[in-house]
Structure 1
Amino acid sequence: MRDADRVRCTTYIFRDDASLWWEGAEHSVNLDTITWNRFKEIFYEKYFTADVRGRLMREFMTLRQGDATVAEFVKKFDRGCHFVPLIAGDPAMKLKHFMDGLRPTLHNNVMVMRPLVYDIAVAYAFKSEQSLRDIDFENQRKRQQHQNNNNLPNKKPYTGPPRIQGPLKP
């Protein structure tokens, strides 16, 4: 897709303030020759000031999954990639930064699969998270079942084997 077409597609979905801003901004650019990078510069200057971009870069550099789901972490990671093109533009660095940010359990599970690219690592992280959820669910189900069995009202406590009273007859 040509850069000018990317710009047109992007600006087509602008709403509210962004739409009004673009109506004014498009008069100062040639839509047939604008590059995608130049469009992003114009957009970022308007909506992401230098101090905001700096803060978002720092957040990205220290980004860790913590208690977030993989989906939430990936969303933050992908957003941060826009502000740190040095990492985002290098597939090996992007993969390493993503892996370093995963919580330890997921990191270990994904490392076992030895992903070579970011997208594959993300897919493995989602699968690993789902497996861990399934294990947690099964363990909770077993605990609940065990608890329910121990709370039966008519259950007699075990007192050992039955005793035979009286003499045994041959």
Structure 2
Amino acid sequence: MEQARQAPRPQTDIYEQFRRLNPNEFSGTTDPFLVEGWIRSLELHFQYLQMGDGDRVRCATYMLRDDASLWWERAVHELNLATLTWDQFKEAFYGKYFLADVRGLLTREFMGLRQGDSTVAEFIWKFDRGCHFVPLIVRDAAQKLRHFMDGLRPTLRRDVLLMRSASYDAATGCAFQAEQALRDIDFEIQRKRSQAQSRSQPQKK
């Protein structure tokens, strides 16, 4: 009973813990990946500290600088800070720095993403960046794996399918192995071709 009467833990403790994590500042940018990256980095800190909505908004706005700080000074006049949730803050923030048209374009680019002449490492990098903008795929492991497989170069897709990868992580590992195997085959073919050409050339006396 005595424990229930104790005062709640001061919120300033949370802010101090947040600052110790060295969160990134945000000054404003037109690069959607930097915008989304900043939000994701904050959310990792928030989850670690188990922050509620109010603390999340206050900590995020504390990290705004320059153009972003000026935007927030104007935005607060149109928002109810007493009831503002983290999702509502992100909606207002994205409305300024991550327009719906840009998100739509990135989504369409991701849905049509193909490996082409890229290496497996380059394709995975593009896939991982774009995947974040299509949450329905991110949350569905089977669909994410299927979309990755569809984007692979046909020769690699064939080999990865033969390895029967059950997850996206397993499929990426198999794709690296298949790519290296094809490189080894190409190297061996080139080596034998070079040897054959050397034997066919007339020997100098």
Under a length normalisation based on structure 1, what TM-score does the superposition of the two structures give? 0.70
Q: How many residues align?
A: 147
Instruction: Tell me which residue corresponds to 1:150.
Output: 200
Instruction: Tell me which residue corresponds to 1:11.
Output: 24
Instruction: Tell me which residue corresponds to 2:40.
Output: none
Identity %: 54
What 5-or-longer segments of structure 2 have no aligned partner? Answer: 1-13, 30-34, 36-64
Change (3 A) 1:21 1:128: farther
Indicate conservation of the 8 Å contact 2:27/2:67, yes or no: no
What 5-or-longer segments of structure 1 have no aligned partner? Answer: 156-170
Change (3 A) 1:102 1:134: same
Under a length normalisation based on structure 2, what TM-score does the superposition of the two structures give? 0.59
Q: Name the larger-Rg structure.
A: 1
Instruction: Tell me which residue corresponds to 1:106.
Output: 156
Change (3 A) 1:143 1:127: same
CA distance in 2, matches of 1:45, 1:92: 31
Question: Following TM superposition, by how much is the alpha carbon of 1:52 offset from its aligned partner in structure 2, in angstroms?
Answer: 1.1
Indicate conservation of the 8 Å contact 2:165/2:171, yes or no: yes
Change (3 A) 1:82 1:57: same
Question: Following TM superposition, by how much is the alpha carbon of 1:38 offset from its aligned partner in structure 2, in angstroms?
Answer: 6.6
CA distance in 2, matches of 1:39, 1:126: 40
Instruction: Tell me which residue corresponds to 2:167.
Output: 117
CA distance in 2, matches of 1:26, 1:11: 17
CA distance in 2, matches of 1:136, 1:65: 19
- How big is each residue's C-alpha offset from its partner over 1:68-90, in whole Å with a ceiling of 9 and x where there is no partner? 11111111111111110110111
Change (3 A) 1:43 1:92: farther
